[in-house]
Amino acid sequence: MQNNVLILDFGSQYTQLIARRVRELNIFCEIKPYNHLPEDLSEYKAVILSGSTFSVRSDEALHPDLSNIKGQIPLLGVCYGAQYLAHFHGGNVAPSNTREYGRARLSSIKENEPFFDKIDVGSQVWMSHSDTIKELPPQAELLASTHDVENAAFKIGNEKTYGIQFHPEVYHTKDGKQLLENFLVHIAGLAQTWTPDAFVETTVAELKKEIGNDKVILGLSGGVDSTVAAVLLHKAIGKHLHCIFVNNGLLRKNEFTEVLDQYKHMGLNVKGVDASARFLDALAGEEDPEKKRKIIGGIFIDVFDDEAHLVEDAKWLAQGTIYPDRIESVSASGGPSATIKSHHNVGGLPDYMKLNIVEPLKMLFKDEVRRVGVTLGIEDERLGRHPFPGPGLAIRILGDITREKVAILQEVDAIFINGLREWGLYDKVWQAGAMLLPVHSVGVMGDERTYEKCVALRAVESTDGMTADWVNLPYEFLQKTSNDIINKVPGVNRVVYDISSKPPATIEWE
């Protein structure tokens, strides 16, 4: 890659948002843990230090090796990163009298300062810290203040080293994108060349070089990620790609046959494998969500191992893994951020499976995958499909998995999703689904008392799944959907709607 930005992760909940904002500027960036810097820094044209839950004043302060960065590569410290640059280079960081959290406004900005070009006094910023910078380092120059935070932004000497106490990556900082553009484009001199067309051209060339004439097996799911990965690989290696769509028994209603039919017209070599009994039998009696994920991931590997033996000389297993999968599973590439959940398609292969892994989308966010799909000429209907979890309905059935529960949830989900389409709401929602809860509730149907299952409906709006807000669906739609579910799905007598956002919740319930 050309014109890379390196983001060092200190465990901030906002680190991934920094990457998203940088990518929005058509600049490629990578997140690395603060204590695992790349050996070769020559490919990076700028470095950003993230925030952190730690304090620079504590014995547990996180210490990056900036010896080959500070003063040599344009450097921006955000929150903890700014405090680190101040505290360990001659300044002073101390506890704030009050926790400085939430909206603030810039009360002063240094005149004719390129870092704040096109940003005016009064611009809203977002603070989230309990320490504050009391004194700047020697040779540091104050660039901006707020009413409560004097040293809100500064520059160190003649270096292209900057620190900001606020978070430019969050939505609440109104000119955050402009500030990042000022630093990356106008100060660091990066070119804004990270585009879908450039990604396709570069990735196809890399795949051709890496794979050559080897045969590749790809697990299709019917979703956006695996579809784009398949078309990208097909563009690179053509007939050497062998796609497999596995029915794990946990798909949506009629999805196995419908997806196979949709792929017929895309020129891909696709084989359908019905392994539903194999998955459902292995999941019987298991309630723990992480164990369910691992069981499903293990069987997927076994199924693909079986199919690989049927493809002579297959040497690669391709996966539609994207960047948020890797971040949530491996804690920002191994950094201090908390792991949220494991993903069945993230990680290595067992020793007995003699296939190499290729993940052409592993550095893309979801919205970037869709833009690449447009460049590849994939039809809107496929690219607009809601994300669906790899483990399928297994993580939307809380508790143990049975064939009866799967059948119930498939019917509920079909009513909900089809209803969104009929009401013209599907494309206004980023992801939607139904959860089967491990509780029974009392109800009255006709003149009889019932004691049946409860389902929760979930619909969120998001850009890439890293954060999400619940969608305020019309009451009339929810009322009709609830009535349809209770009247048409035996065993369900109560429907609730989930109004939790991410964070603090996650999109899926398990």
DSSP state of 69: T
SS3 382: helix
- Pull the structure tokens for residue 320: 């539609």
pLDDT of residue 300: 86
pLDDT of residue 68: 94
Buried b (16+ CB within 10 A) or exposed e, 460-476: bebebbbbbebbebeee
| Local confidence band at 2 (pLDDT 50, 70, 90 cut-offs) | low
Question: Catalytic one among 87, 100, 169, 307?
Answer: 169
Query: Do 93 and 83 contact (CB within 8 A), yes or no?
Result: yes
Output 464 or 472, whichever has higher pLDDT.
472
Helical axes 15-24 vs 323-334, angle rounded to 10°: 130
Q: Tell me, yes or no, if 79 is annotated catalytic.
A: yes
User: Residue 328 above 70 pLDDT?
Assistant: no
Q: What is the mean pLDDT of residues 286-293?
A: 92
Which residue do the tokens 């979890």 mark?
389
Which residue do the tokens 């002579």 mark?
312
**Taking CA 79 as the corner, what is the angle to CA 78 and CA 82, rounded to the nearest 5 degrees?**
70
Radius of gyration of the chain measured on its C-alpha atoms: 25
User: Residue 481 above 80 pLDDT?
Assistant: yes
pLDDT of residue 313: 86
Residue 415, CA distances (Å) to 408, 449, 484 in order: 11, 24, 7
pLDDT of residue 336: 47
Reference 5, options 195, 192, 199; nearest CA is: 192
Q: Tell me, yes or no, if 454 is annotated catalytic.
A: no
Which residue do the tokens 């997806």 mark?
259
- Pull the structure tokens for residue 343: 């993903």
User: Residue 309 above 60 pLDDT?
Assistant: yes
Q: What is the mean pLDDT of residues 244-272?
A: 90
Q: What is the 3-state secondary structure (H, E, C) of 479-493?
A: HHHHHHHHHHCCCEE
User: Residue 441 above 90 pLDDT?
Assistant: no
CA–CA gap between residue 272 and residue 326 (Å, rounded): 27
Dump pLDDT digits (tens) for 35-58.
Answer: 989 988 999 999 999 999 889 998
| Local confidence band at 330 (pLDDT 50, 70, 90 cut-offs) | very low
How remote is the C-alpha of 507 from its chain's centroid?
A: 11
pLDDT of residue 348: 53
User: Residue 456 above 90 pLDDT?
Assistant: yes
Reference 211, options 238, 174, 177, 251; nearest CA is: 238
Output 232 or 466, whichever has higher pLDDT.
232
Question: Catalytic one among 79, 307, 343, 510?
Answer: 79
Q: What is the mean pLDDT of residues 418-424?
A: 97
Q: Tell me, yes or no, if 141 is annotated catalytic.
A: no
Query: Do 137 and 156 contact (CB within 8 A), yes or no?
Result: yes
| Local confidence band at 505 (pLDDT 50, 70, 90 cut-offs) | confident
Q: What share of the chain is helix, strand, coil (3-state, %, to 5)?
A: 35, 25, 40
| Local confidence band at 327 (pLDDT 50, 70, 90 cut-offs) | low
Reference 9, options 36, 45, 33, 44; nearest CA is: 33
Q: What is the arrangement of strands in the sheet containing 153-156, beginning at the earlier edge strand?
A: 29-33, 4-9, 44-49, 75-78, 161-164, 153-156, 140-146, 92-109, 124-135
* Helix and strand numbers, DSSP H then E, in the chain: 13, 18
User: Residue 127 above 80 pLDDT?
Assistant: yes
Output 325 or 109, whichever has higher pLDDT.
109
CA–CA gap between residue 415 and residue 396 (Å, rounded): 16
Question: Catalytic one among 87, 167, 240, 242?
Answer: 167
Output 335 or 178, whichever has higher pLDDT.
178
